[in-house]
């Protein structure tokens, strides 16, 4: 039991410095909330008993974490980090193993670091710190003889403010001892809160062994405001892109590309500048995503080309060797192998077969003002330029729709359909209409 580790994540704080109505830990990095980043890291580190302390935004956060097996603890009033941990006394106080305390606003911590912290903690306490480039705002780790203390910025004098060894918010150690010391923490005079960092006084007084473990600032930064959030996003983007580059993906001008954390890209894919790949994008080998394309929730099969400047979204599957060209929007559709939609089209709620050509300016009119209707286009179909297909509609295999048609009835296999006003020619007619 002693070697068993439970995790407690604090996420009940108000997050005032974010200046947002959204709870702090629900702000997203690379398309995923901060709290899910940290929960996922705990899970992938093999931790099974994960507890989270939530406060006034409990319901909103529960909606996001509902598919995890995380156990929830309520902190009634946000009286500080020590009080947050104390709220877990009933559920955790008697546990006879190790407790790992994490803060919900440190989403960049890596799985291997969580494992290292746990493996380094035997009958001692591990206080996790980092050397900060700019330590402002963090608690500073101070060694006084055998004593180890953490002094909050608000309580720090000039000398202490110069220290750049900062506390990350992570402590790992024997659970019962943590709760024992916690009960001794008094309200801080300056902040009026019960500060968890005051635990180190008591642990030192009780001659407990505290080891300082340090890791990189890049994975231990705490996020309190939008500036830190955007800095963390930069760090995470760099990490995500490095991962894909190592896997054989070519990124042209990587700084201009945005990739969400759950995007999957095979080798030999080329992503051109200014591309946005949002959540749930899967790109198979040898695809080229050309500049300025915005893609979310989409599967693109191998050897296809999309863009430049296309938008593909909401549950779309693109087959092999498909061409989706400039100014094309595709939503909730399946596009068969070898099909071409090369220019200026809107394809929504549509299934298209293989080897079909969709002409420039084709629009699927999927919305009738009340509901979305389906378009089905077969294999080897030729749709001329500037056609409107009024859904629900079925266009059969090998059929042909003439350019400029507005089609509202189904077209059979091998059929031809033309639906446009007949052209009139008036000989020398210009002068009748244009008087100059």
Q: Which residues lie near ligand UD1 (CB under 6 A)?
A: 10-13, 53, 75, 78-81, 83-84, 103-105, 138-139, 150, 152, 166-169, 195-197, 222, 224
Closer residue to ligand UD1, CB minimum distance, 152 or 296: 152
Between CA 349 and CA 332 the distance in angstroms is 5
Q: How far is the CB of 262 from ligand UD1 (least distance, A)?
A: 23
Half-sphere exposure in the Cβ direction for 288 (13 Å, CA)? 11
342 binds, among Ca ion, ligand UD1, none (CB under 5 to 8 A by kind): none
Which one, of 119, 122, 142, lies nearest residue 197 by Cα? 142
- CA dist list (Å): 47 to 3, 36, 214: 12, 14, 21
Distance of closest approach, residue 211 Cβ to ligand UD1, in angstroms:
17
Q: Which of residues 183-222 bind Ca ion (CB under 5 A)?
A: 222
Question: Mask: binding to Ca ion, 102-121, rule CB under 5 A, as x and -?
Answer: ---x----------------
The site partner of 197 among ligand UD1, Ca ion, none (C-beta below 5 to 8 Å per kind) is ligand UD1
Catalytic pick among 27, 37, 57, 343: 343
Cα dist. 420→45, 142, 226, 364 in Å?
63, 81, 54, 17
Nearer to ligand UD1, 118 or 195 (CB): 195
CB of 128 to Ca ion, least distance (A): 14
224 is an interface residue for Ca ion by CB under 5 A: yes
Q: What is the DSSP letter of 138?
A: S
Buried b / exposed e along 351-386 (16+ C-beta atoms within 10 A): bbbbbbbbbbbbbbbbeeeeeebbbbbbbbbebbbb
A 10 A CB-CB count for 240 gives 21
Pick the closest to residue 82 from 172, 174, 186 (CA basis): 186
In the residue annotation, 343 being an active-site residue is answered as: yes
Kindly tell me which of 196 and 258 has the beta carbon lying closer to ligand UD1: 196
CB of 13 to ligand UD1, least distance (A): 3
Looking at the Cβ atoms of 24 and 98, the one nearer to Ca ion is 24
């Amino acid at each position: 039991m002693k070697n068993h580790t439970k995790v407690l994540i604090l996420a009940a704080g108000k997050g005032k410095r974010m200046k947002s109505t959204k709870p702090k830990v629900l702000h997203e990095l690379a398309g995923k909330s901060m709290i899910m980043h940290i929960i996922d890291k705990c899970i992938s580190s093999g931790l099974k008993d994960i507890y989270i302390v939530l406060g006034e935004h409990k319901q909103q956060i529960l909606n996001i974490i509902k598919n995890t097996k995380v156990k929830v603890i309520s902190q009634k009033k946000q009286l500080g980090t020590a009080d947050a941990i104390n709220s877990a006394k009933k559920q955790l106080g008697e546990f006879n193993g190790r407790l790992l305390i994490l803060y919900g606003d440190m989403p960049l911590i890596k799985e291997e670091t969580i494992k290292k912290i746990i493996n380094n903690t035997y009958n001692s306490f591990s206080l996790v710190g980092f050397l900060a480039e700019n330590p402002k705002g963090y608690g500073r780790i101070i060694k006084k003889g055998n004593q180890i203390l953490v002094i909050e910025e608000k309580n720090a004098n000039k000398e202490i403010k110069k220290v750049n060894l900062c506390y990350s918010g992570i402590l790992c150690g024997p659970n019962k001892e943590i709760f024992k010391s916690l009960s001794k923490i008094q309200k801080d005079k300056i902040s009026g809160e019960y500060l968890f960092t005051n635990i180190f006084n008591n642990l030192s007084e009780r001659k407990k062994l505290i080891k300082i473990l340090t890791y990189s600032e890049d994975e231990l930064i705490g996020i309190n405001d939008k500036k830190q959030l955007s800095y963390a996003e930069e760090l995470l983007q760099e990490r995500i892109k490095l991962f894909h580059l190592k896997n054989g993906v070519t990124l042209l001008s990587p700084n201009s590309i945005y990739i969400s954390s759950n995007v999957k890209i095979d080798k030999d894919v080329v992503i051109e500048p200014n591309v946005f790949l949002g959540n749930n994008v899967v790109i198979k080998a040898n695809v080229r995503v050309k500049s300025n394309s915005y893609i979310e929730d989409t599967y693109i099969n191998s050897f296809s080309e999309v863009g430049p400047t296309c938008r593909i979204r909401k549950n779309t599957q693109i087959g092999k060797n498909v061409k989706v060209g400039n100014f094309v929007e595709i939503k909730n559709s399946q596009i068969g192998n070898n099909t071409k939609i090369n220019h200026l089209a809107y394809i929504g709620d549509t299934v298209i077969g293989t080897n079909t050509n969709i002409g420039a300016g084709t629009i699927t009119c999927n919305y009738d003002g009340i509901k979305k209707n389906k378009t089905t286009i077969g294999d080897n179909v030729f749709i001329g330029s500037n056609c409107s297909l009024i859904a629900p509609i079925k266009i059969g295999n090998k059929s042909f729709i003439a350019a400029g048609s507005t089609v509202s009835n189904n077209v059979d296999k091998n059929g031809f359909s033309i639906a446009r006003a007949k052209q009139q020619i008036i000989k020398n007619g210009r002068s009748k209409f244009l008087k100059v």
